[in-house]
Structure 1
Amino acid sequence: MAEVYVSLMIAVGSDAPSFQLPGVDDGEIGEYALDDYDGESIVVLAFYPADFSPACTDELCALQDLELFAMQRDVTIFGISPDSVYSHRAFATEYNLGFPLLSDSVGNVAEQYGVLQSEFEGHERVPKRSVFVLDANLTVEYAWCGESPVDLPDLEAVRDAVEAVQDDGTAIERYRTACNHFRFGRSEFETARTAFEREDWSTADATFGEALGYFDEAAAAFESARRFGSDPVAHRAASAAETADAYRRAAKWYAESAEYYADDAPEWGDEYRDDAIEALHSSPDDGDISDLYPLSE
């Protein structure tokens, strides 16, 4: 008869138990130690019973699809189950999972986190489906454990938990990343405006499109820095996000203006050009976005 495990799930506010496990990421097998992420990023641990189980697939694919987990510099996610690294590699390839899957083969880590169950589909010492959000100091900020094999986490609650972690170090890193996107965008934007003034409509349209992509990335990263930062950082990031958004709108409307001029529709070209100019005038920083290095000292 299988042993019955009654350990309690680790509580919010607790230090996350450290571990080192074999795992696979992007087809490469390696060792992963939780302590390596201390001070580096927010960590999400997703325990699940088995690879290729339909409910487990739904959970991990849903986590993969969340926009916040695309920010790999900001949030590190680990899927953890008893399966071998070779099973994990096949599972990750099948479902295009872009984060490491770790092998807790005898269930010791699941037991430390209080989510070990006696039996699942004939296998012993497997974890319940559960999710933990750890802040940059590896403190548990969110904990969820499903009692039924078909229970799935509330992904909005996971998102909210991640966004509630206030960490100026993370926020400033996001701000710096946003500044880089913005600088690339400004460079493309000025190149596009030169082509626009020469009435080289094809080049202007394409290059404003390139600038738009950079401004999209910058605005999203500035907004992320605002969510994660304390008041001084959040205020600066909010202003920078407005500036990036103003340039994003200007690039979009300049591109549309160039298209109309190219199609010999100058009345529409004039209207979108004027909208673009107005968007630039709405920028609170007039395009002068500086890094927040002094705030990190």
Structure 2
Amino acid sequence: MLDAGDPAPDFDLQGTANGGSGAYRLSAAAGQAPVVVAFYTEDFAPRCRRYLAALRDTEWRELTDGIAVFGVAPGDMADHRSFAAELGLPFPLLIDHAGVDAQFGVQRPDGTTRRAAFLVDSRCRVRFAWADDGSGEVPDIAPLLDAVAAL
């Protein structure tokens, strides 16, 4: 798994965009603001629902002037769009068909994706990394928020 200080692999992925769809490039977003890349296992899974809701409910503006949050998981646009709408997510959900989870080191041996979060800075360097320990608990995102505030 990538760790703080490692270069973040750039990616171009399709994702949800205000009820529609769009293309997202990590390096382009990071050039404008820090980026939280939040990997999750699948749409509609209770653990993933709680994880993305915790990110949704974060008061990002209290921590930084600007930030982008990308949810990344396998799936298709229809499911991502429905899941984003159901949760009222203010950030896009991106479709990982390119093995981006493997490049970040959060793909399991069976090919599924671990819940994980990476904070990527303007130089496309990882500033913070977390991955699910398998407990199924809602992740404590306080360390991620501390890393955002420290930028």
Tell me the TM-score normalized by structure 1. 0.48
Q: Does 1:113 align with 2:104?
A: yes
Other-structure match for 1:45? 37
Provide the rounded CA distance (Å) in 2 between the counterparts of 1:68 and 1:38: 16
Listed as ranges, the gaps of 5+ residues in structure 1 are 1-8, 120-124, 166-297
Match among 48, 53, 56 for residue 56 of structure 1: 48
Q: Is the 8 A contact 2:69 2:92 kept in 1?
A: yes
SS in 1 for 2:109: strand
Distance 2:121 2:102 in 1: 21
Bigger relative contact order, structure 1 or 2 (CA pairs below 8 A, ≥6 apart):
2
Q: CA deviation at 1:136?
A: 2.0
Q: Which residue of 2 aligns with 1:163?
A: 149
Q: Name 1:142's counterpart in structure 2.
A: 128
Compared CA separation, residues 33 and 143, structure 1 to 2 (3 A): same
Q: Which has the larger radius of gyration?
A: 1
Q: One-letter code of the match for 2:142?
A: E
1:67 deviation in Å?
Answer: 0.3
Please identify, of 80-89 and 150-159, the stretch whose mean Cα deviation from structure 2 is larger. 150-159
Give the deviation of 1:38 after TM superposition: 3.5
Change (3 A) 1:38 1:63: closer
Partner Cα distance (2:23, 2:62) in 1: 22
User: Matched residues, percent identical?
Assistant: 37
- Contact kept? 1:129, 1:152, Cα under 8 Å: no
Q: 1:215-294, aligned counterparts within 5 Å?
A: none
- Alignment-mate amino acid for residue 120 of structure 2: L
Stretches of structure 2 lacking an aligned partner (at least 5 in a row): none
Q: Secondary structure at the match of 2:108?
A: strand
Written as runs of structure 1 = structure 2, the 5 A alignment for 1:71-150 is 74-105=66-97, 108-119=99-110, 125-148=111-134, 150=136
Bigger proportion of residues as strand: 2
- Over residues 57-105 of structure 1, what are the superposed CA-to-partner deviations in whole Å (9 max), with x where a residue is unaligned? 0000110100016889601000000011110000011111110000003
The number of aligned residues is 151
Greater per-residue helix proportion: 1
Query: How far does residue 154 in structure 1 lie from its aligned partner after superposition?
Result: 1.6
Work out the CA distance in 2 between the residues paired with 1:85 and 1:111. Answer: 21
CA, structure 1 residues 15+135, in 2 after alignment: closer, same or farther (shift >3 Å)?
Answer: same
SS at match of 2:117: strand
Letter in 2 for 1:137: R
Indicate the SS of the match to 2:60. Answer: helix
8 A contact 1:84–1:105 mirrored in 2: no
Q: Which residue of 1 aligns with 2:16?
A: 24
Q: 1:70 to 1:26 in 2, by over 3 A?
A: farther
Amino acid corresponding to residue 56 of structure 2 in structure 1: Q
